[in-house]
Amino acid sequence: MNTFLTVLIISVLTHCIRTVYEIMKFRKRINPENKVVFGLIFTNMIILWFSWFAVCVFDPYKLTLPLVVKCIGAAILVLGVLLFLVSLAKIKRFENYHGDLITNGIYKRLRHPMYLSFICWLAGGAIFHQSGTAFLLAVVFTVNILVWRKLEEIHLMTVFPECKEYKRKTYF
């Protein structure tokens, strides 16, 4: 139980830190170009995902799900990982992209495939591990990710005039 509470607290704190970072970045109160800032937020994200999966594994509040549902959870999780890798390969950066609006490859259909991949990780991990706590947190953390996405979209609309048309033609 102590391990579970520790990773739960770490997971919640790292999600909060990432959300505060996104808000501060949007309000231009923090410079994401700063290597120290990038290093800290990158480290935070690694800790966030490791702690998230540890919450799923160590959760004492397990759900009882049929095998087929667990398999669907695993498929969603794998889909999320693949989506993340494909989108990362396309932009070749985690942060601080400078260039034209990317509208080809995976970005031809999805505006925010990385954020969607994170949501798949949350849902798939919770379902696969039958984690009741992680499933509830996945809902809260998904709201966080939607906030990150909204802030990014507002920023993109100001930087790229063609983003309005792109947004109309794509999903998520």
Burial group, residue 135, by CB count within 10 angstroms (0-12, 13-18, 19+)? buried
Q: What is the pLDDT of residue 96?
A: 64
Domain span at 66: 2-169
How far is it, in rounded angstroms, from Cα 52 to Cα 33? 27
Per the structure, the count of domains in the chain is 1
pLDDT tier at 171 (50, 70, 90 boundaries)? very high
CATH code of the domain covering residue 79: 1.20.120.1630
pLDDT tens digits for 44-64? 999 999 999 999 999 999 999
For CA atoms 28, 12, 49, 86, the dihedral sign is negative
pTM: 0.89
What is the number of other CB atoms lying within 10 angstroms of the CB of residue 141?
Answer: 24
pLDDT tens digits for 6-36? 999 999 999 999 999 999 999 999 998 899 9
Coil vs helix vs strand at 10: helix
How far is it, in rounded angstroms, from Cα 119 to Cα 123? 6
CA atoms within 13 A on the CB side of 29: 6
Name the more confident of 95 and 39: 39
The overall average pLDDT reported for the chain is: 93
Residue that the structure tokens 């309000």 belong to: 27
